Structure 1
Amino acid sequence: MAHTVVIAPDSFKGTIGAAAAADALAAGWRRESPDSDLRLMPMADGGEGTVDAFAAAVLGAQRMPVTVTGPEDEPVAASWVLLPPTPDAPQGTAVVELANTSGIELLGTPPRLRAFDSHTRGFGEAIADALAHGVSRLVLGIGSSSSTDGGTGMLTALGARFTDAAARPVTAGARGLGSVAAADLSGLAPLPPGGVTVLSDVTNPLLGPRGAAAVFGPQKGALPGDIAVLDAGLARLARLVDADPETPGAGAAGGTGFGLLVWGASLVPGSAAVAELVGLDAAVAEASVVVTGEGSYDGQSAAGKVPAHVGAVAAAAGVPVALVGGRIAAEADTSAFAATASLTELAGSGDAAMAETAWWLEEAGAQLARDLDLR
């Protein structure tokens, strides 16, 4: 009897996307267990690879190319995904991600960090393209941001106007927030009929010591002396619009979560929403085993990350689940998993694992197939 294996990893950030990771794990598993029926369901939590995950996991999904203004004003060839019609979204659902339109990965390797000048305009342009297509609903992934502009670039692309005391449009990026004096939202595009769902695994508020500037600003090039300036700019924005900066997730993606609240969107935990949209529960219910994973599995991974959610779905269905990690921290609790594989241990070092991630994921897939022995 052929066994059904659901392979549902997150991306291994900075090295390989979720769809390619699932392919590599499947190749290794197939080497050891060629008769297994493999169901690839790459996952995401709203960050890089969200569009790729939906394109790979949902039957009938269409990739829609679009050229947008990148975070440093350069043209960027991006795409969003059109999901097939459903009863609650008769004109289809558009999945748009910030990472491939305004993300930090677009700033080069290593990234050319521009704490005050990067912006989210391209993300807004991709959203506008999806709206022009006439979709019934939007699903937006907002991880991997390059900016701290509070989502003003995105909102500007959707029809908002942010001006200074002289009624002039403010400079793009966080730099413009220092002089913003008025927000005209009357020209904002209306929400689609089915609303806007925002995927994020971040619960930080917009402002303060846990806010967008303090927690995520340094990742984008902000120096210690810049944090207060960035936070003050975000506070100026918050005073001009009708949204609560304390809402969990408002600080996500440099405050883009807050900007989307201003538009009227709903913020939800990314992993669970993606799982629901791709039909993970139904697939797991028919599986003999599930394989999941992420780049670094540590003590925080149980808090809403992809492996924890996939593991919970598998546990509820009584299906064993295996874990692959780029690294698996010593303090991480892996007792819920039937088997584990660490790419760092397989490769001999973290650097070696990151240099050839696809190769070592294939080896991990083969190892797990041997360990679980479904023949």
Structure 2
Amino acid sequence: MYTSFNRLGKNADEADAEEIIDMASNASFADQQKLVQENIHYQIKSFCTAMDKILLPDTNEPQESQSHATPSRSGLNFAVGGNGPTIDRPDVPERRPLKRTELSQRLKDSIGYTLDVKPSQIPHNEAGQGLYLNGEANIGAVIAMYPGVIYSSAYYRYIPGYPRVDAQNTYLITRYDGTVINAQPWGYGAEGRELWDGSIMRDMKPNTEITEKGSDWFWKMLGKPLQNSRMGSSGEILERRNPLALAHFVNHPAKEMVPNVMVCPYDFPLTEKDMRAYIPNISFGSAEQVNVRRFGSFWFRWGSRNSGSDIPVLKTIVLVATTALCDEEVLLNYRLSNSERRPSWYTPVDEEKEMELNQGS
């Protein structure tokens, strides 16, 4: 319950920690999940407020009049030579034109920390770039968001490179519920707030119906990647300068090193319109909900689509500090459960526990 401890503030002590542990042990798993989601949302909301204070110009600052500005034409409009009326777009408040580095520094001044990406201190050739916390963060703090394209299990075959999706992409992560996030299209972000469609985002319906019979057809189709339609999604206006949208650069600790963050699922409620631009994710496919159930390695549609909460959410991931951090590299236990596919540089943090996971998988 790191997030609960963090919410108590800097004055929290061991007695508070013991009380939180006692409360958690007496709460149901569902209640624990709900509390964690509330705590994370509280922190994300504070982060969004801090970003708005940095980026939104003061009301008494002179603003360029929009009424006489020449409407901009889209790339498609230029390509086809169209001269029709411009498409009405929702008003987007003007932001200060800060560079990513300047915005990152101002965020640190506001909340006490930001993130840097630079060569990792992990001693192996494949470590590459690492994620560093610049500043100080308390235990339980949400320090990073995992950006990119979100794939529900119904869209697995649209992940680039399927079925060997990780062969050329080391920026994939999977939630406990099977949701996959591909951070490769996000990269380091960009230098402004822009309409982002994830580069590979396409508007299509999941192919979850099996209309033919026969095991041969089933096994053949199960491993066949599906081609992306070119009828793309309209995307979302996202703040691509987001200083915390760099969780995909976190490395696994080397031998005799310990992780200092943990993965935590975060279901962002899409009803929070004012916060949406700071959530660095977009869902693949339509917003239509498809319920699926896992059998072994495979997923099947089941039940009603309208079960559960009526509030639409983005199924994202954040990194939460498991200890107080200060100007250091961020390390995450990858928990690679398949021992046969572990890379040579991988050293289990807890060999016994990971062996149990292997036996249970």
TM-score relative to the length of structure 1: 0.22
Larger Rg: 2
TM-score relative to the length of structure 2: 0.22
Which structure shows the bigger proportion of residues in helix conformation? 1
